[in-house]
């Protein structure tokens, strides 16, 4: 509850300090590593084209030309390569002249590993090795708690209720301390922190120059909770506001019976109402086909495809726009085929057929990404992967 009441202050507090800290570092150096044929930084990537790869173009030129579409969220089952796909997309956007931010909302962050740079700390940091501005952020709920404490100081529940005109009832709650509430584990704190950052990206002037913001989301369950959070808060805030008005009216009537001074009604174009309006703004952005796109990432297994189908059904229910499906880790053709590879490829081909027959997934643009024989780490490797996926 404390996080709900105070999210409005935290998300509206400017993040200019983070911007100023990295502004001096935005003179990005040219790439240290160059791509020569299929060799990147000494690693040989043996890639053989899939027979159907041409059919799976992502239409990246379309993604570049749609100027209004600013937010890209990549999500899916855990372990399918969401972070690599999101990071490669961010590098691709930046390489084509779009000032870009890439954000990890996954509690188990992998952006630092993907870029092979230290991006921890909960603040925006410049990604080295990209010619255009590219900033990265790993959202840290602990940092958000510290921001709340700095915004509010050491406030008791009584002080909070006094500010809401409910101080007479605070004695019933004892000496609860706001700091104790913040230190307690809060369900959904990761999603609250993510929403806070989305609000900052939407409203703070210092972010207006960034034309693309890519979200590396948490596995499916966390992501659906993130997308449904604005609706949940809208409902919760409405209930809290109604309860406050009822309690204030009852207390006023009680005091008037005993001839005491009537409580002044404090109108609530207050933080709750403001937060309600801004949550509605976030909800509208998530559902706006002109500004937002959710890209589902999966792998060619029956379990992953089934979860992706359920994810798309949930996103459709939430009216979140989805246009593309990335099938990652596809085995490429090989001249000297081993029995294991042949069986795996046959199974993957069967799974691709399931996608074409799935009512949820068949209408999406299918992007096929091959399994590589080396780990994708660092900007040069991400550029290489981006050229394979984002065509």
**In this structure, are residues 281 and 202 in contact, taking their beta carbons and an 8 Å threshold?**
yes
Nearest to 217 by CA among 313, 139, 117: 139
Query: Which ranges constitute the DSSP H helices of 268-338?
Result: 271-287, 302-317
Phi, psi of 156, deg, nearest 5: -85, 170
**In whole angstroms, what is the distance from residue 18 CA to residue 380 CA?**
26
**In whole angstroms, what is the distance from residue 355 CA to residue 374 CA?**
27
> Residue 106 has which token pair?
């996954």
**In whole angstroms, what is the distance from residue 81 CA to residue 223 CA?**
15
Count of Cβ atoms closer than 10 Å to residue 360 Cβ: 21
Query: Which ranges constitute the DSSP H helices of 296-378?
Result: 302-317, 339-357
> Residue 173 has which token pair?
């709650």
Catalytic residue (one of 61, 106, 180, 216): 106
**In this structure, are residues 97 and 129 in contact, taking their beta carbons and an 8 Å threshold?**
no
127 CB-near residues (< 8 Å, 6+ apart): 90, 91, 94, 102, 115, 117, 119, 134, 135, 136, 379
**Cα-based angle 221, 299, 136 (whole degrees, multiple of 5):** 65
229 CB-near residues (< 8 Å, 6+ apart): 188, 191, 192, 195, 279
Is residue 106 among the annotated active site residues? yes
Count of Cβ atoms closer than 10 Å to residue 333 Cβ: 12
> Residue 385 has which token pair?
């992967």
Nearest to 286 by CA among 225, 221, 367: 225
Active site residues: 106
């Amino acid at each position: 509850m404390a996080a709900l009441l105070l999210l409005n202050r935290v998300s509206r507090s400017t993040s200019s300090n983070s911007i100023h800290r990295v502004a001096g570092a935005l003179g990005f150096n040219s790439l240290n590593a160059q791509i020569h044929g299929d060799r990147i930084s000494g690693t040989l990537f043996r890639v053989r084209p899939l027979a159907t790869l041409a059919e799976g173009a992502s239409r990246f030129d379309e993604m570049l030309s749609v100027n209004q579409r600013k937010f890209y969220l990549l999500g899916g089952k855990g372990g399918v390569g969401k972070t690599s796909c999101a990071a490669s997309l961010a590098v691709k956007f930046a390489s084509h002249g779009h000032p870009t931010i890439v954000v990890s909302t996954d509690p188990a962050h992998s952006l630092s590993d993907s870029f092979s740079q230290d991006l921890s700390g909960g603040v925006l940091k410049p990604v080295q090795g990209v010619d255009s501005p590219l900033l990265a952020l790993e959202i840290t709920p602990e940092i958000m708690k510290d921001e709340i404490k700095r915004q509010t100081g050491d406030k008791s529940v009584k002080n909070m209720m006094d500010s809401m005109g409910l101080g007479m009832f605070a004695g019933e709650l004892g000496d609860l301390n706001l700091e104790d509430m913040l230190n307690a584990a809060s369900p959904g704190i990761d999603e609250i922190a993510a929403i806070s950052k989305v609000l900052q990206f939407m409203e703070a002037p210092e972010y207006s120059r960034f034309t693309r913001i890519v979200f590396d989301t948490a596995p499916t369950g966390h992501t659906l909770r993130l997308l449904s959070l604005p609706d949940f808060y809208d409902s919760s805030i409405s209930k809290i506001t109604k309860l406050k008005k009822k309690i204030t009216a009852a207390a006023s009537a009680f005091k008037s019976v005993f001839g005491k001074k009537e409580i002044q009604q404090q109108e609530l174009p207050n933080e709750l109402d403001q937060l309600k309006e801004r949550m509605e703004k976030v909800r509208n952005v998530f559902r706006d086909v002109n500004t937002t796109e959710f890209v589902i990432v999966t792998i060619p297994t029956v379990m992953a495809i089934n979860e992706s189908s359920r994810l798309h059904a949930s996103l459709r229910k939430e009216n979140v726009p989805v246009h593309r499906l990335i099938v990652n880790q596809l085995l490429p053709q090989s001249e000297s085929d081993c029995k294991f590879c042949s069986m795996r490829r046959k199974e993957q081909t069967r799974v691709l057929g399931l996608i074409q027959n799935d009512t949820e997934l068949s209408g999406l643009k299918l992007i096929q990404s091959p399994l590589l024989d080396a780990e994708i780490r660092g900007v040069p490797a991400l550029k290489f992967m981006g050229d394979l996926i984002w065509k």
